[in-house]
Amino acid sequence: MQEQKTNKDKKEFDGFLPFYTNAFDRVFISVVILIGIHLLWLRFMEPALPIEAATVISLVIAYYVVRRG
Amino acid sequence: MRNNPRIGWLLLSPTLLILLVFGFVPFLYVLFVGFNEWNIFAAEEGLRFSGLDNYRRLVFDEDFTTSVQLTLKFATFAILSELILGFLLAQMLTRKFPGKWFFRIIHTFPLMVAPIAVGAIWRLLVIPGFGPVPFFLDRWFDIKYQIGSYPDQALWTSVIMDVWHWTPFVTLTMLAGLSSIPREPVEQAKVDGANRLQVFWYVTLPFLRPVLLTTVFIRIMDAIRTVDEVWMLAGGGPGTRFTGIYIWRVVFPRTDYGYGSSISLITLYLTIVLCWLLFIAISGRRKGEVE
């Protein structure tokens, strides 16, 4: 009988993200989020708060995604 | 020898070197230029560091957001049509019918034509007062067809042209995918009483997943960077101002290299995010899914 291989068998990380990830995936997702937040910040938030705030928020989210994602 | 990682790296090194020199280094250069003002006709020559100014300008640039919307609309309709048509044609080519060999040869002809020539052919077909398409549409259906005046007509003509050009590619990949599906699961499903739709949904489609993923990726990347054939068809007129054409306008006629670089990078970002989301959706990496 053919063995059915699931994603869990690959020993990928099972964090809060809706799919299994490895370290590269989590770093990639963090970079994508970082760029996205900065672009949205430039468009909507910059008159109220400087861009450095977006960097701080992005880095906090990136840390959380890399550790727990 | 086979298990020696050094030999593996040695064999990979020419490819990695080429990728580094022709892929990664230009990317870093564009990234660098994207943070600078650089216009050869500006009063101040050379690069001038401007931080995030290009990106600040980009997020408020309505021409850019419109071009992204148009590109996504174009890519969505073109790729969906190509996938459906390509799958149906591949299904047809797995069966026997008279003249199959002839159809198989001629259906790949559009693939051999260079994009610029495809644009020229379609331009000749749709040019008002000369092309057969406007003539017969007017004569038979009383439809005024002028891609230079009606943006919707230009967009849909671009979609049809792309479908004409790239459906054979999708057909070939789907045909390869369909040919590799083992017969046993399909026959088992039929014995168990599955109808055609159920066989397609629960057996054929999961087996086609890797092929589908690769095809969609290649087509998305191609569709987003479409310039030459659409430029030849409509000259970047209304309805066809896609991102690639917008970048070309900024970089070449306006010689605004810094801003052009930032648009290129954001287009790359959007392409990567789109492909990655599709990869997660199609590849079966979501929790609870069996690969």
The SS3 assignment for B50 reads coil
Answer yes or no: is pLDDT of B281 > 90: no
Asked if the Cβ–Cβ distance from A14 to B59 is below 8 Å, we say no
Interface of B with A (CB under 8 A): 52, 55-56, 59-60, 266, 269, 272-273, 276, 280, 284-287, 289-291
From A15's Cα to the closest Cα of chain B, the distance in A is 10
**pLDDT tens-place string over residues A14-35:** 788 888 888 888 999 999 999 9
ipTM value, please give it: 0.81
Asked if the Cβ–Cβ distance from B52 to A28 is below 8 Å, we say no
Contact (Cβ atoms closer than 8 angstroms) between residue B165 and residue B111: yes
Burial tier of B119 (Cβ tally within 10 Å: 0-12, 13-18, 19+): buried
Q: How far apart are CA B29 and CA B258, in angstroms?
A: 11
Asked if the Cβ–Cβ distance from B272 to A38 is below 8 Å, we say no
Q: How far apart are CA B267 and CA B288, in angstroms?
A: 33
Answer yes or no: is pLDDT of A8 > 60: no
Query: Which of A1, A7, A10, A26 best tests the B interface by mutation, with the highest count of B CBs <10 A?
Result: A7
Q: Whole-prediction pTM value?
A: 0.85
| Domains of chain B and CATH, by start | 68-289 (1.10.3720.10)
**pLDDT tens-place string over residues B11-55:** 999 999 999 999 999 999 999 999 999 988 877 778 899 999 999
CA closest to A38 among chain B residues: B55
